[in-house]
Chains A and B, each alone.
Chain A
């Protein structure tokens, strides 16, 4: 079931179309990747979902009905440009922001103390934000995003500015949130993390959705019928059946051969494997799916032409 849906969202800024009939469907309990190059309109879409700005036309649906002002309490949002009050004490600041998300003062305090302890920053409670290191500030930022236990979490470029240790920590936290049944929208350029954690994606380019669906489905949609094949013998290219595939690469070593082949015709993978198995002792047979990175670059530069 879709937790969130946008239907034909259009947003126009003076002389510039930021979003053109953008429709996305975010399934409940999944991690949804919102991809696209800089300036494609991702942040505008996120702001519309957050009700920070209103669309010119089109609508945002929560649980199948139009989004309402109180829906913002069901969202936790970590913007790309992160910032907090520099001169304010960390704890006080977190309580304030949690209260604005609808928590009562005692409840906000109780939960925050728990989170601060878990992230081992409780001793910083009474320090001013500007005294904290960047990594610690990011931890505070994350806590503030999730403190009101929202059903939907939106992370805009969450890994920018994180060191590898903290990036991993954040990834784990995001996966934990998914386990807890939360829906997550995740906007990023970092394609490796997309393959790792996203279930579905929508690729926005030049204000329009140019690609969407399950990550695995998209990758197979873009498959080029390329396989890597390793066999236990020295292969003579002339011996290969000419009608089944073309050879892209051939690496002959002492006792094995690695080939990259491109399947031709309507042959299924199994049939191909059977034909090959008759002729050679097969060590491995892998279909090469394109990486999200390749798909991203392909799609974006393709539509740019």
Chain B
């Protein structure tokens, strides 16, 4: 086995055999699924309390319109509001007073309560009264069959968004589904770079502060040592993501089976919507049916996305990890990493927000340029991919990313080589540039 192979093997095995790794890998999908489940559960949960609403309708026209629901019970009361004010009735949450014909005097109805009136209740009251008033008004026009005419004229329209495929096929596409897929992959890439980049940095610093580095570099080239660490940890990350993927898939399968396939896509959509308010709401309505969902999902080219995902994943990781390795080699103390970490964090955060923004406008100038800049492209491009980015853009972006990664790795290796043997000096960027020039 080559030196590089031995180092990769050790870095990999040492980390995947750690208890913390195993526990985290197994637990995270459960946590993830549990988190989603709790979100849905909280969204669907209804208070089991039944509120009583007293209706004081002096006209007698409207009181009978209100039917009891799961949460509200309506009672008719002959007392006046001032009676209740003097002798409070704890049982009653709210009072609805109607004092006049509402068509003539729309201000004649009001809701009173000692507490904040739930939005749900006022919505319900509005709905009931509006409907009644509408039909009253229609009746007042005295046109025969008017109701039928109106019912007939009601059109439920929702625009279909269709993208022409290269093979001339037309596929129904959905911005929302594409965005969801994009976000998922982007978050994975982002998290991965942060987590494992930091791990590379820690590993390098560990070897330096342990002083084992001098023994290591007397047997292997510093470049092999650095690459071994980056690649080994990269494999750890791939293993983790792969296991998470499988576990989540299995868990969702089990969950769906347990619920009898009753997972309503609309609910999932709602959940997703809560997580990302920027998303287009109008898509929601058109996606009531599971079939439609699957149809839309099937228009997304997953083979292409996953291939590019892996490419960007590796390229982006390589780029950032080698920078992290160089930083780790240059410092003696963890506190000193801060000054170098800040610019990187700014870049990554920018990339993340640029990605989120690109979701709104996947072909806009920000999205366009950020998907070529190597420091942002792994993150931004992942968002754009489900929207079918032209192939030439993909290729240029990947080539640029890999060319830069290799260049940065080369530079980092030069800094690393000098940095790992430097002690007691607080390095700065100027110093590090000098190291690059050392023989």
- Stretch of B86-94, B206-214, B313-321 with 4 or more beta carbons under 8 angstroms from chain A: B206-214
Whether the Cβ atoms of A50 and B210 lie closer than 8 Å is no
Q: Indicate if B61 sits at the interface (CB-CB under 8 A).
A: no
| A interface footprint on B202-225 (CB within 8 Å = 1, 0 otherwise) | 000011001111111111110000
List of B residues within 8 angstroms of A50 by Cβ: 217-218
Contact flag A100-B210 (CB < 8 Å), given A54-B439, A56-B439: no
Whether the Cβ atoms of A82 and B6 lie closer than 8 Å is no
Contact flag A52-B218 (CB < 8 Å), given A83-B212, A84-B210: yes
B225's nearest neighbour on chain A, judged by CB, is A100
B220's nearest neighbour on chain A, judged by CB, is A100
A150 to chain B, nearest CB (A): 11
Q: Indicate if B434 sits at the interface (CB-CB under 8 A).
A: yes
Q: Which of A53-92 contact B (CB under 8 A)?
A: 53-56, 69, 72-73, 75, 77, 79, 81-86, 88
B416 to chain A, nearest CB (A): 13
Q: Indicate if A97 sits at the interface (CB-CB under 8 A).
A: yes
Q: Indicate if B3 sits at the interface (CB-CB under 8 A).
A: yes
For chain A, which range describes its interface: under 10, 10 to 19, 20 to 34, or 35 or more residues? 20 to 34
A140 to chain B, nearest CB (A): 11
Give Cα distance in the complex from A73 to B219, angstroms: 7
List of B residues within 8 angstroms of A54 by Cβ: 439
Whether the Cβ atoms of B421 and A52 lie closer than 8 Å is yes
Give Cα distance in the complex from A13 to B425, angstroms: 14
Q: Indicate if B147 sits at the interface (CB-CB under 8 A).
A: no
A138 to chain B, nearest CB (A): 13
Q: Indicate if A99 sits at the interface (CB-CB under 8 A).
A: yes
Give Cα distance in the complex from A100 to B6, angstroms: 7
Q: Indicate if B14 sits at the interface (CB-CB under 8 A).
A: yes
Give Cα distance in the complex from A131 to B431, angstroms: 38
Q: Which of A8-29 contact B (CB under 8 A)?
A: 13-14
A80's nearest neighbour on chain B, judged by CB, is B214
Q: Indicate if B10 sits at the interface (CB-CB under 8 A).
A: yes
List of B residues within 8 angstroms of A84 by Cβ: 210, 212, 215
Whether the Cβ atoms of B434 and A99 lie closer than 8 Å is no
Q: Indicate if A96 sits at the interface (CB-CB under 8 A).
A: yes
Q: Indicate if A206 sits at the interface (CB-CB under 8 A).
A: no
Q: Is chain B's interface secondary structure helix, strand, loop, or mixed overall? A: helix
Q: Indicate if A144 sits at the interface (CB-CB under 8 A).
A: yes
Whether the Cβ atoms of A100 and B211 lie closer than 8 Å is no
Give Cα distance in the complex from A136 to B206, angstroms: 21
List of B residues within 8 angstroms of A5 by Cβ: none
Q: Is chain A's interface secondary structure helix, strand, loop, or mixed overall? A: loop
Give Cα distance in the complex from A14 to B439, angstroms: 12
Whether the Cβ atoms of A86 and B210 lie closer than 8 Å is yes
List of A residues within 8 angstroms of B215 by Cβ: 77, 79, 83-84, 97, 144
Contact flag A83-B210 (CB < 8 Å), given A96-B6, A96-B10: yes
Give Cα distance in the complex from A50 to B219, angstroms: 9
Q: Indicate if A30 sits at the interface (CB-CB under 8 A).
A: no
Q: Which of B1-43 contact A (CB under 8 A)?
A: 1, 3, 6-7, 10, 14
Give Cα distance in the complex from A97 to B207, angstroms: 13
Contact flag A79-B210 (CB < 8 Å), given A54-B439, A96-B6, A101-B219: no
Q: Indicate if A128 sits at the interface (CB-CB under 8 A).
A: no
Whether the Cβ atoms of A72 and B219 lie closer than 8 Å is yes
List of B residues within 8 angstroms of A81 by Cβ: 211, 214
Q: Indicate if A171 sits at the interface (CB-CB under 8 A).
A: no
List of A residues within 8 angstroms of B211 by Cβ: 79, 81-83
Of B207, B219, B221, B421, most buried by chain A (CB within 10 Å of CB) is B219
B18's nearest neighbour on chain A, judged by CB, is A87
Whether the Cβ atoms of A100 and B219 lie closer than 8 Å is yes
Of B3, B7, B217, most buried by chain A (CB within 10 Å of CB) is B217
Whether the Cβ atoms of A47 and B421 lie closer than 8 Å is yes
List of A residues within 8 angstroms of B207 by Cβ: 85
List of A residues within 8 angstroms of B3 by Cβ: 100
A98's nearest neighbour on chain B, judged by CB, is B219
Contact flag A77-B218 (CB < 8 Å), given A14-B434, A54-B439: yes
Give Cα distance in the complex from A79 to B7, angstroms: 21
Of A52, A55, A69, most buried by chain B (CB within 10 Å of CB) is A52
Of A72, A83, A85, most buried by chain B (CB within 10 Å of CB) is A83
Give Cα distance in the complex from A53 to B211, angstroms: 17
Of B7, B10, B220, B431, most buried by chain A (CB within 10 Å of CB) is B10
Give Cα distance in the complex from A79 to B221, angstroms: 17
Contact flag A97-B434 (CB < 8 Å), given A81-B214, A88-B14: no
List of A residues within 8 angstroms of B14 by Cβ: 88
Whether the Cβ atoms of A99 and B6 lie closer than 8 Å is yes
| A interface footprint on B182-209 (CB within 8 Å = 1, 0 otherwise) | 0000000000000000000000001100
Whether the Cβ atoms of B218 and A75 lie closer than 8 Å is yes
Of B207, B215, B421, most buried by chain A (CB within 10 Å of CB) is B215
A105's nearest neighbour on chain B, judged by CB, is B1
Whether the Cβ atoms of A79 and B10 lie closer than 8 Å is no
List of B residues within 8 angstroms of A88 by Cβ: 14
List of A residues within 8 angstroms of B210 by Cβ: 83-86
B10 to chain A, nearest CB (A): 6
List of A residues within 8 angstroms of B213 by Cβ: 83
A111 to chain B, nearest CB (A): 16
List of A residues within 8 angstroms of B421 by Cβ: 47, 52-53
A216 to chain B, nearest CB (A): 32
A84's nearest neighbour on chain B, judged by CB, is B212
Whether the Cβ atoms of B212 and A85 lie closer than 8 Å is yes
List of B residues within 8 angstroms of A47 by Cβ: 421
List of B residues within 8 angstroms of A14 by Cβ: 431, 434
Q: Which of A221-279 contact B (CB under 8 A)?
A: none
Give Cα distance in the complex from A277 to B439, angstroms: 65
Whether the Cβ atoms of B219 and A97 lie closer than 8 Å is yes
List of B residues within 8 angstroms of A144 by Cβ: 215
List of B residues within 8 angstroms of A86 by Cβ: 210
**15 A-B residue pairings within 8 Å (CB atoms):** A14-B434, A47-B421, A52-B217, A53-B421, A69-B221, A73-B219, A75-B218, A77-B215, A79-B214, A79-B215, A83-B213, A83-B214, A84-B210, A84-B212, A88-B14
6 residue pairs, one from A and one from B, having the closest CB atoms: A83-B211, A79-B214, A81-B211, A83-B210, A100-B219, A77-B218
Known pairs A83-B212, A144-B215 / 11 extra A-B pairs, C-beta < 8 Å: A50-B217, A51-B218, A52-B217, A77-B218, A83-B215, A84-B215, A85-B207, A86-B210, A96-B6, A100-B3, A100-B7
